Each structure stands twice: as structure tokens, then as C-alpha cells.
Amino acid sequence: MGLLEMKTAVITGGAQGIGLAIAKAFVTEGARVVIADLDGAAADAAAKDIGPDAAVGVACDVAKADDVRRVIETAVTSFGSLDVVVNNAGITRDATMRTMTEEQFDQVIAVHLKGCWNGTRLAALRMREQKSGAIVNISSLSGKVGMAGQTNYSAAKAGIVGLTKAAAKELAHHGVRVNAIQPGLIRTAMTEAMPQTAWDQKMAEIPMGRAGEPSEVASVALFYASELSSYMTGTVAEVTGGRFM
């Protein structure tokens, strides 16, 4: 029996990177997954790669409550339940505060913070009825220390921590757990596209001397989604190689 045998999970931003690694880890442990992504074609392709019996892809803009509601309904109609939600979808619109536009700020807050709120709130409506469920919110080390050029992203990721703790308090007596993960430098297409000087600077801050892999974030998400963490809620796990500990 896998850790998530016969459980159904929704993963936003699940078509690539960390989200896709989480989806694959969950399926390996017996879950059925709904991969929600702004790029519907990529979500479908990821689901087909994982397998039609275990995964479904759905186009979703997490900033729109109706889209998130539709994803949750897809999970229930396709697989019969909703047991885990991973709020992972995100974007970056980096710029110094002096040059950042209001639109760039609003876009990042909408996807990360409002998107996470939509996912947490709408999942909780169903989970509280069944008196069980696990919600995993993906924050970032940027939400702990703040990063220059990321006032929008750092604010949103810090907000996710506050949201997680508040929601955990509201939902604990309903049997629903809410936890967060703060990844550091993880090797993805997005991070590998950064200038070499920026990469080297970040690497110099990591005591373990290497970037993390998406699978290493996925294993922590699996822990939070499963009964291995049955007495944990409102916590934040740093997956950073010791950076800024």
C-alpha cells in the first residue's frame, strides 16, 4: 500500500517543474491526481505521460475562483473524492520597487496569494464535510527573508505563510490539516535561465553546496499529504539546503 493509496490530489501549476514532480511522487504512492495549469495543453500532456487511469489535466487560472472550483469538481467526478490539494501555481515579475509596475505587483499577488487562498478556501469547503484532508501551500524562502527585486513575490510568499497558519487554526477541528513548504534554490527551467552571476551568488549562500531538485520538494509535499504528518498543521518546512537558516 502506498502512502496515498486511493487518495485524490489536486496540484496547481502541475504541468512542469516542482508541481509535476509532486504529481509524479503522489501517483507513485497510489494517488490519483488532477493536474491544473494555466497551460491546459501542457496539463493534458503531463497527465497523459503519467497515465490516464491516474491523472487528468485541466486548464485553470488560480486567480479565478470559478476555475479552481471546476478543478475540484473534476477531481470528485473523475476519481470520487478530494483528499489533498497542493497550491503550487506561481509566476515571477521581478523588478526593483522603483521600476515595478502596479500591474506586475497585482499579477504576482493574484496568482500566488489569491490563488492559494482560492485553493485553500474551496478545498476546505469539501474537506470539512468529510472531516479529513490535507492542504499543502508552496511558499518560498523569499517569503522568509525577502529578496531584492521581488517585493511582489516576497510579499505574496510571506502572505502564504500567514494564510496557512490562519487556515490551519480554522480547520483543525474539522480534521483538515494545512501546512506550507518554503523551497530555496531548486533546479528548474526557470532558475537555470537566470544569469550565471546570480546563480553563483545564490549557490554561495547554501551550506550544502548545491541546488535542490524538484523531487526533493516533492518528497516533503508527500510527507505533508500523507498520514506520516498526521499531527502536524500550521507548520512551515524549509527545503533550502540550509540557506538562510
Cα dihedral value 145, 214, 80, 125, nearest 10 = 0
The answer to whether 95 and 139 have CB atoms below 8 angstroms apart is no
Q: State the cell numbers at 83.
A: 483528499
Say what the pLDDT of residue 37 is.
Answer: 98
153 is catalytic: yes
Say what the pLDDT of residue 194 is.
Answer: 84
Q: State the cell numbers at 45.
A: 500532456
The rounded radius of gyration (Å) of the Cα atoms in the chain is: 17
Distance from C-alpha of 43 to C-alpha of 34, rounded to nearest angstrom: 9
Strand order in the sheet with 8-12: 55-59, 32-37, 8-12, 84-87, 133-138, 176-183, 236-239
Helix-helix angle 65-79:115-130, to 10 degrees: 40
φ and ψ of 57, to 5 deg: -105, 140
Residues 183-231 pLDDT 10s:
999 999 888 888 899 899 999 999 999 999 999 999 999 999 999 999 9
Q: 177 - beta bridge partners?
A: 134
The CATH homologous superfamily to which domain 8-239 belongs is: NAD(P)-binding Rossmann-like Domain (3.40.50.720)
One pLDDT digit (tens) per residue for the chain, 245 residues: 899 999 999 999 999 999 999 999 999 999 999 999 999 999 999 999 999 899 999 999 999 999 999 999 999 999 999 999 999 999 999 999 999 999 999 999 999 999 999 999 999 999 999 999 999 999 999 999 999 999 999 999 999 999 999 999 999 999 999 999 999 999 998 888 888 998 999 999 999 999 999 999 999 999 999 999 999 999 999 999 999 99
Most distant CA atoms of the chain, gap in Å = 54
The answer to whether 245 and 238 have CB atoms below 8 angstroms apart is yes
Catalytic pick among 26, 79, 117, 153 = 153
pTM for this entry:
0.97
